[in-house]
Amino acid sequence: MLNIVLLGFMGTGKTSVGQRISEKLQMSMVDTDTIVETDNQMIIGKIFDRYGEDYFRNLENAAVRKASKYTNHVISTGGGVVLRAENLNLLQENGLLFCLKATPEEIFERIKDDSHRPLLKGPNPPNKIRHLLQTRQVQYQRIEHQIETTNSSIEEVTNQIIGIYQSASSPPQP
Ligand code: S3P
């Protein structure tokens, strides 16, 4: 069975929705950020601080390679996985790709109390969110299934994704 691959900006619900899909469909879940942290024995904030973003992107690419070899998994990804087209090609080999979306205002509301996202540290996070979203918009838009989450609950988003996944996985009618 194909993987369910969740992509999208920080705070769009990839982890929460991924966990719920994994419970409902009894599929194991992996997360590329967790793979990076486990394989390198370092949290992402520290990797950014010590070695910078480019270095992190190489580790992230290695994590994507690893995750994309699985089948029948829910794969939750870091928000910047789309920055390398190669990552999307790898994930597509065994997976159905979903891009979770939300407005910048909603994203800020969801992540404003978290301190573990290095790209949003410092003054004026709402501006950083708007700017990053804009620079990545083209890459996010290329993903086949676009799922708007701004006014939806985790359960609604989960059910929408499961519905698409199940119809894509069912054999064609005679
Ligand atoms: C990043 C998103 C983060 C994490 C890293 C970089 C990004 O993951 O990979 O901080 O570039 O958007 P989440 O989307 O899970 O927060």
- 18 CB near ligand 1 (under 6 Å): no
Low-confidence stretches of the chain (pLDDT beneath 70):
none
Q: What is the pLDDT of residue 115?
A: 84
Q: Which residues pair with 147 in a beta bridge?
A: 100
Q: What is the pLDDT of residue 116?
A: 87
CA-nearest residue, atom 11 of ligand 1: 80
Token pair 């994994």 is found at 22
Sorted by sequence, the CB contacts under 8 Å of residue 140 that are 6+ apart come out as: 7, 8, 9, 82, 99, 101
Q: What is the pLDDT of residue 87?
A: 98
Sorted by sequence, the CB contacts under 8 Å of residue 44 that are 6+ apart come out as: 33, 36, 37, 56, 78, 116, 118
Tell me how far the alpha carbon of residue 174 lies from the centroid of ligand 1, in angstroms: 43
What Rg do the C-alpha atoms of the chain give, in angstroms?
16
Q: What is the pLDDT of residue 174?
A: 74
Q: Which residues pair with 31 in a beta bridge?
A: 76
Tell me how far the alpha carbon of residue 26 lies from the centroid of ligand 1, in angstroms: 26
Q: Which ligand 1 atom is nearest residue 80's CA?
A: 11
Q: What is the pLDDT of residue 49?
A: 96
Q: What is the pLDDT of residue 27?
A: 98
**DSSP conformational letter for 120:** G
CA distances from 161 to 62, 112, 120, 167 (A): 26, 26, 28, 10
The pTM assigned to this predicted structure is: 0.97
Q: Which residues pair with 4 in a beta bridge?
A: 74, 96
CB atoms within 10 A of CB 20: 21
Strand (E) or helix (H) holding 123: none
3-state secondary structure of 29: strand
Q: What is the pLDDT of residue 170?
A: 80
